[in-house]
Amino acid sequence: MQPPPLACQVCNKPAEVGYAAQLCFVCRTTLSKRPFPLWIKIAIILVGIGFLYALAEMPAFLVASIAFERGQRAEAGGNFETAASEYAKAVEKFPGSTSAVARLGIAQYRAGNRDAAVRTLRSLAGRQAPKKLTNEINVVLAEMQRRDPGAAPARSNYTSSGNFGPTNALPLDSDTSNTDPKAVSTWQQYRSPSGDFTVLAPGRFSEKLSGTPSAPEYSYECKSPVGSFVVKRSDFSKEQQALLPDFSSRAFGADREIFFSQVKESQIPLVGQQVKERSVGEGREIRISASGGEIVHRAYLFHGRFYSITAVVSASNPNMDADASRFLDSFRVADQ
């Protein structure tokens, strides 16, 4: 005599034979089609949008950095027309770069395009520049005034105090620090509008809010000829975190998969790349090194806020490793 069939653990109907879990056909089918948690889908979409936006901007700084370097080589070789053309490409991507704008104006003047040089050099009004670059601009302005006093901007008079004198001065402030000629400006500390974090960067950040009221995402980006620097923050409520066991590990895992996916889809040239991963304090780091530059990504989870920090630096930057580390290591989260 055969024993009676086992009962389903859900509905007590006869369970199917041959399975470890005691379930009937209907319950087994229903449970196998359980939908993926909505909050995980939302989190993946939000992080994916952030990485897509950041990586979409990466080619811009690479193009500008390459163009700036080509302009320097052409200028050093006396080919000022080519230099002006290359510098113009860099300025198009980074109009806030004092060094790139100044080099464009000087190259335009040396190439004989004095009208364009006047317009370019006048756009430097109110900016800061290293003393060496300021003196070079003054030489060009002095030559322009001798040739056509009415057309050229007034010459800048540099004083011993480190500022321009008020008489006949081009409104261009001088910074006597040893600034890299490829840098947009000196490194300075940035504090987010909400005060939740601070970080050092070689320029100003643009800020963007996306996502939904229940799942906001904040993006802060600094584009500079020395690199592209991005901080992103996604907020998760306690209820959202409680929906999934081991939320922290799963969040870092999803971030890692999305990062590699976006790097692959970005089509950034990474010939001979090497990938290294490690723990950094309470966070995670992924470093992709290649002949063309470096992409370093870090992720942290603090008080329900997930931060992703990415530095993209070109090999044409002689301080590539130092600039990436300076940005990433300076990141601080305020106590909540």
Name the token pair of 1. Answer: 């005599």
Contact predicate 170/164, CB 8 Å: yes
Report the predicted TM-score, pTM, of the whole model to 2 decimal places.
0.45
Residue 170 has pLDDT above 50, yes or no: no
| pLDDT per position as a tens digit, 91-128 | 887 888 888 898 999 999 888 888 888 888 888 876 77
Q: Among positive and negative, which fits the CA dihedral 47, 54, 203, 169?
A: negative
What Cα–Cα distance (Å) separates residue 25 from each residue in 5, 14, 31, 33, 34?
A: 13, 9, 10, 13, 15
* Banded model confidence at residue 200, pLDDT cuts 50, 70, 90: very high
DSSP string, 237-265: -HHHHHTSTTHHHHHHHHHHHHHHHHHHH
Q: Rg of the Cα trace of the chain?
A: 28
Position with higher pLDDT, 251 vs 268: 251
| Domains delineated in the chain | 1-33 (no CATH), 38-62+184-333 (3.40.1000), 98-175 (no CATH)
Contact criterion met (CB below 8 Å) for 228 and 317: no
pLDDT at 285: 92
